[in-house]
């Protein structure tokens, strides 16, 4: 069940219909000022023009077909509907003026009254048009006008798509959410109802193209169709696509999982929706059951576990929750943990090992760090053998380096900041064993040394007792990089061998050119 506020965030607004999306090569520069999440609804002009042709090109034909007693009965029903419309309209006007109740009738929101008012108006037109109209009713209007009943169907589908896409920003969808909550609170993003608009528009555009070319020669018709396709393709072009590239090769820990035999499931830390999407993606390398393999939608058991893991420190209750979910192995990815949660996860792992809740089995390289596999004490007997004494000593040393990694922060440049080559960057770094050296690299290039050992206010007060707390500052000049986006990596290497990478994305701009002052004439 999604909250009303979340549904509102993912409901469209009218400016979304002017936004083509950041990858569109034609309209993006003009429309990105209105861009928002899931709000790229602009369908282009060519399809719209063809759809307009479809609903306007045909001409009215025939005369009213409804006469006699049937028409008389419809007029009587229409008078009753007129009275109901008048009463509903009066109630709506009273609600707009601030009246919140008329006897037992509660009117907390004027928009809710618009829904029955609209339905009554449509029913009134379906029964009979006003007397002075040359059409007898709505069906007669559709049959004899340029629209036609079949085209009207797809026009109605398009209109429904617009109403659904606007979501709770219209009284109609808001009425459905408020009146039929258990059904409509399941729908997170009403804006995706735009597919109905696109469907209706596509059919109407094809109809419009057929109307324009139907009586032409085959050569002219082929040329017109080709021109329409070229025009629409030119409007929609978004190549080359900007895609996220991932390493297709599974990490060594996943290759090991693929060959391991055990009962129960695998839980991976850090736990959370954004991490779990990666775990679910990589599960195709091993096909073992995942405790946290949700993406977007999750069961209540998972939500309870995630809420527990979000607490700082992580309580012992987490181990009981994992046992109830039949977790057998814990895979810990220290490199993926954020600085805000690193201490909580490290303490949970240390405490779990010390109290016997988990036992270290394996360690695998992963980027600049290592992945660790633990056997949960609550797992069924014979899940996997424990590591031998020599192997255990080596694993303990590797785990110690990971659980006590160096840490720090890049003060400037900030994330995404525009800087010039040669501008000064600085921050601070600490480790319980002392910092051995710091390097910086750009875009994965070779590392260069960074000046370390400068004073930095506030660090010693926050972290007293660390070897370099009195002079933890570092600084370096932004490398000579070409204008555009770049990624900096500041690597902190501790004396005990621990290593942490601090990432920072920047935008390098061209150095400012100094214009000499104009003197004389």
The owner of tokens 């004396």 is: 495
For residue 250, what are the CA distances in angstroms to 10, 285, 398? 34, 6, 21
Q: What's the confidence (pLDDT) of residue 183?
A: 87
Average pLDDT per block of 10 residues along the chain, 521 residues long:
86 91 87 85 94 78 54 81 85 78 66 84 87 81 79 93 93 87 87 95 94 87 93 89 82 93 92 88 94 78 91 92 93 83 84 89 83 88 56 61 79 92 93 89 92 92 86 93 93 82 90 56 44
> Can the peptide bond before residue 161 be classed as cis, meaning omega within 30 degrees of 0?
no
Q: What's the confidence (pLDDT) of residue 162?
A: 95
Q: What's the confidence (pLDDT) of residue 389?
A: 47
For residue 427, what are the CA distances in angstroms to 100, 439, 477, 495, 505? 59, 12, 12, 19, 15
**Phi-psi label, residue 422: left if phi above 0, alpha if psi -120 to 50, beta otherwise:** left
Q: What's the confidence (pLDDT) of residue 394?
A: 60
Contact 372, 331 (CB under 8 A): yes
As to burial, measured by CB atoms within 10 angstroms (0-12 exposed, 13-18 middle, 19+ buried), residue 241 is: exposed
Q: What's the confidence (pLDDT) of residue 188?
A: 87
Backbone φ, ψ for residue 428 (5° rounding): -145, 160
> Can the peptide bond before residue 208 be classed as cis, meaning omega within 30 degrees of 0?
no
Nearest to 126 by CA among 114, 141, 143, 146: 141
Q: What's the confidence (pLDDT) of residue 268?
A: 96
Q: What's the confidence (pLDDT) of residue 384?
A: 64
Q: How far apart are CA 500 and CA 145, in angstroms?
A: 72
Q: What pairs with residue 197 in β-bridges?
A: none
Residue ranges of the alpha helices (H) in 134-260? Answer: 138-144, 149-166, 171-179, 181-184, 194-213, 218-236, 252-259
Contact 291, 378 (CB under 8 A): no
Helix-then-strand count for the chain, H and E: 18, 15
DSSP string covering 318-359: HHHHHHHTTEEEEEE-GGG--HHHHHHHHHHHHHHHHTTSEE
Ranges of beta strands (E only) in 414-483 are 418-419, 424-430, 435-442, 448-449, 451-454, 473-477
Q: How far apart are CA 105 and CA 371, in angstroms?
A: 64
């Amino acid at each position: 069940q999604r909250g009303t506020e979340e549904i509102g965030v993912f409901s469209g607004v009218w400016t979304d219909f002017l936004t083509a999306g950041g990858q569109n090569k034609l309209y993006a520069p003009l429309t990105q000022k209105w861009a928002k999440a899931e709000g790229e609804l602009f369908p282009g002009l060519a399809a719209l023009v063809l759809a307009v042709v479809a609903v306007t090109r045909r001409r009215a034909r025939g005369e009213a077909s409804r006469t006699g007693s049937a028409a008389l009965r419809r007029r009587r029903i229409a008078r009753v509907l007129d009275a109901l419309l008048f009463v509903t309209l009066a109630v709506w006007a009273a609600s707009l003026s601030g009246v919140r109740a008329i006897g037992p009738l509660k009117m907390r929101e004027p928009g809710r009254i618009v829904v029955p008012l609209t339905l009554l108006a449509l029913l009134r037109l379906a029964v009979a048009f006003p007397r002075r109209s040359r059409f007898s009713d709505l069906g007669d209007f559709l049959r004899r006008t340029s629209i036609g009943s079949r085209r009207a169907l797809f026009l109605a589908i398009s209109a429904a798509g617009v109403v659904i896409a606007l979501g709770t920003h219209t009284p109609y969808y808001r009425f459905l959410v408020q009146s039929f909550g258990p059904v409509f609170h399941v729908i997170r993003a009403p804006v995706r109802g735009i597919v109905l608009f696109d469907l209706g528009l596509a059919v109407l555009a094809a109809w419009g193209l057929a109307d324009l070319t139907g009586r032409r020669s085959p050569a002219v018709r082929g040329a017109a169709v080709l021109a329409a396709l070229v025009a629409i393709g030119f409007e929609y072009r978004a190549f080359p696509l900007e895609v996220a590239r991932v390493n297709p090769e599974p990490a060594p820990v996943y290759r090991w999982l693929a060959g391991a035999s055990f009962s129960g499931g695998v839980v991976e830390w850090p736990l959370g929706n954004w991490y779990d999407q990666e775990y679910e993606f990589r599960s195709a390398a091993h096909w073992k059951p995942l405790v946290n393999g949700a993406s977007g939608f999750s069961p209540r058991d998972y939500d309870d576990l995630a809420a527990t893991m979000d607490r700082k420190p992580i309580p012992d209750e987490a181990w009981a929750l994992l046992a109830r979910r039949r977790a057998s192995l814990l895979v810990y990815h220290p490199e993926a943990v954020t600085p805000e949660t690193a201490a909580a996860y490290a303490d949970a792992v240390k405490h779990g090992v010390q109290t016997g809740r988990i036992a270290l089995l394996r360690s695998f390289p992963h980027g600049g760090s290592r992945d660790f596999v633990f056997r949960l004490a609550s797992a069924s007997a014979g899940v996997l053998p424990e590591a031998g004494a020599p192997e255990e000593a080596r694993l303990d040393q590797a785990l110690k380096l990971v659980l006590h990694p160096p840490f720090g922060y890049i003060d400037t440049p900030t994330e995404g900041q525009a800087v010039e080559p040669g501008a000064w960057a600085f921050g601070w770094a600490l480790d319980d064993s002392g910092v051995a050296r710091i390097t910086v690299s750009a875009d994965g290039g070779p590392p260069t040394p960074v000046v370390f050992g400068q004073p930095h206010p506030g660090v010693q007060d926050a972290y007293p007792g660390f070897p370099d707390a009195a002079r933890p500052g570092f600084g370096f000049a932004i490398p000579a990089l070409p204008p555009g986006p770049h990624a900096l990596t500041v690597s902190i290497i501790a004396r005990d061998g621990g290593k942490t990478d601090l990432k920072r994305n920047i935008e390098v701009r061209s150095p400012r050119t100094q214009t000499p002052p104009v003197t004389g004439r």
